[in-house]
Structure 1
Amino acid sequence: MHKILFICTGNTCRSPMAEAIFKHKTNNRFEVRSAGIFAHDGSSASAHSIEILKNQSIPIDHKSKQLTTELVAWSDLILTMGNSHKQLIQQRYPKATEKVFSLKEYALNRKADIADPYGGSLNDYEKTFNEIEEAILKLIEKLDNQGEADQH
């Protein structure tokens, strides 16, 4: 079973949404966590993130976590919301370089960031949700195809 870690800056907007969407879409077939490069442990997900997920009937129970050596070691795949997060992780944890990708890079073959809605309107969060959901659906497809290939 893949252990997937989603990373953003504060672990209150993008990575918690990615974690919740991924868990929901895969019916918990994978172990999934999220963390933030500069997170304060114990903060709730942002109100807009919670509202957007609730509107989509996606459950979320989240407290922010700082990225740690233990989380990096735990994960099989680290997916960041932006290229700067990826670069920072690769600098801090050089042994993890092979398993760190931006979400769009890994899922969509695009070198682009997921827009950061922090401090924005509900509409900004909705746009970010749609971006994340598109990438998550492709990610699931890719992981399922890899799983089938591993079984042959």
Structure 2
Amino acid sequence: MGKLLRRVRRTPERLLHPLRRRNAIEALRARPRPQTILVVCHGNICRSPFAAALLVRELAHDMTVQSAGFAGFNRPAPPAAIAAAQRHGLDLGDHRSRLVTADLVRSADLIVVMEAAQQRSICERFGRRPADVLILGDLDPAAVDTRTIYDPVNDGVEVFEQVYDRIARCVRELVAILTPAGVPTS
């Protein structure tokens, strides 16, 4: 019964995803190409450092990519995050978390978050427009049940790998849009 209720609750998200995806792509194409991207998640130890590392690897080197979080400072990525990132050819071993600051938010041309609540928080706390804050999951080319990219902080490597696979799909879409001849997958 619980599984059925979760599925029913997520039906609106599943139905809205294609529209949100199209709107996100159109909004990104309509804006100037960002020179500075800030990737934000809750603690800056799992999702945002991985997404930022992927963006650094895949984007032109004339762009600056940083990551930050709302909680914790100078914390390392968990061992499961480091192991899952290595599968994607990324090393999070030296990563240390940092907090979102007004200066970081102000200097970013584009802010990428993992959840709608994080988008609202950036807008409310730092005065950014919603159009400046992308929910990364909205770019997912797969049919998904939620726009939120799950926080695997207390999970094992298998869950991190699933989450990182989703982040990688979304980052590929973002890179395709931001790259001059970029065309995201349909």
Aligned mates of 1:54, 1:9 — CA distance in 2: 22
Give the drift of 1:67: 0.4
Aligned mates of 1:146, 1:76 — CA distance in 2: 20
User: Which stretch of the first structure deviates more once superposed, 48-57 or 96-105?
Assistant: 96-105
1:26 maps to amino acid: L
Instruction: State the identity as a percent.
Output: 27
What whole-Å deviation, never above 9, does each CA across 1:67-109 have from its counterpart, x for those lacking one? 000100111000001111111111111244431121123x348
Kindly tell me the number of residue pairs found equivalent between the two proteins: 146
Aligned mates of 2:66, 2:55 — CA distance in 1: 10
What whole-Å deviation, never above 9, does each CA across 1:33-76 have from its counterpart, x for those lacking one? 101012x2211112111111122221333110110001001110
Are 2:53 and 1:53 aligned? Answer: no
Change (3 A) 1:146 1:72: farther
Aligned mates of 2:37, 2:85 — CA distance in 1: 20
Give the drift of 1:145: 3.8
Asked if the contact 2:73/2:99 (under 8 Å) is kept, the reply is yes
2:160 maps to amino acid: Y
Aligned mates of 1:146, 1:42 — CA distance in 2: 38
Aligned mates of 1:126, 1:95 — CA distance in 2: 32
User: Which stretch of the first structure deviates more once superposed, 132-141 or 91-100?
Assistant: 91-100
Change (3 A) 1:146 1:36: farther
1:120 maps to amino acid: D
Aligned position for 1:150 = none
Q: Secondary structure at the match of 2:67?
A: strand
Aligned position for 1:62 = 95
Aligned position for 1:25 = 58
Asked if the contact 2:38/2:108 (under 8 Å) is kept, the reply is yes
Unaligned segments of structure 1, at least 5 residues: 148-152
TM normalised by structure 1 equals: 0.85
User: Which stretch of the first structure deviates more once superposed, 55-64 or 66-75?
Assistant: 55-64
- CA RMSD, 1 decimal: 2.2
